[in-house]
Copies of this chain bind each other. A is one copy, B any other.
């Protein structure tokens, strides 16, 4: 299970705070995500990471709809973004929403920080732990979030797709 909490942040301020915790910088990713229409609480995405020349096919089931912090995720790398999109279209899936972002990834003691600048929506920080122990994972996420000065008020529970659909960009 992928457990993550998403916060609205100031990009540079959050970056400095994460670095001052001693987190390791892992990589930068320029992501282009194409989501397909699926029933509620399921996500189907093809992601191109243009600066790394890699693409991924991902299915997610949202285990806690509304809060959107717990995801049952299956992901495989694919050799070809366009071919994968074409296969899904042939299978009858409809393109829904594109999301483009710049992401910096940091890691500290099994916790992953994804610092995102999302086109049209602003800056967000995902703090993520992979674990089957949801309670323990959330405890660790919030322990670190507090050290970064983040509170429940900074949480953004909506998916990027929902934010784009609602036109709630800054």
Q: Which residues of A contact B (CB under 8 A)?
A: 38, 42, 44, 57-59, 61, 74-80, 83-84, 86-87, 90-91, 93
C-alpha gap A115/B155 in the complex (Å)? 59
Which residue on chain B has the smallest CB distance to residue A72? B90
Whether the Cβ atoms of A86 and B57 lie closer than 8 Å is no
Most central of A44, A61, A79 by chain B CB within 10 Å:
A79
Cα(A76)–Cα(B69), bound, Å: 31
Give the copy number.
2
A74 and B86 form a contact (CB under 8 A): yes
Looking at the assembled complex, report how far the CB atom of A63 sits from the nearest CB atom of chain B, in whole angstroms: 13
**Structural contact, A78 and B90, CB atoms closer than 8 A:** no
**Could you tell me the distance between the alpha carbons of A61 and B90 in the complex, rounded to whole angstroms?**
9
In the complex, chain B residues whose CB is within 8 Å of the CB of A93: 91
Name the B residues within 8 Å of A84 (CB-CB).
57, 76
B74 contacts A90, C-beta separation under 8 Å: yes
Query: Closest CB of chain B to A54's CB: distance in Å?
Result: 10
> In whole Å, how far is A33's beta carbon from the nearest beta carbon of chain B?
16
A84 to B75, CA, bound (A): 8
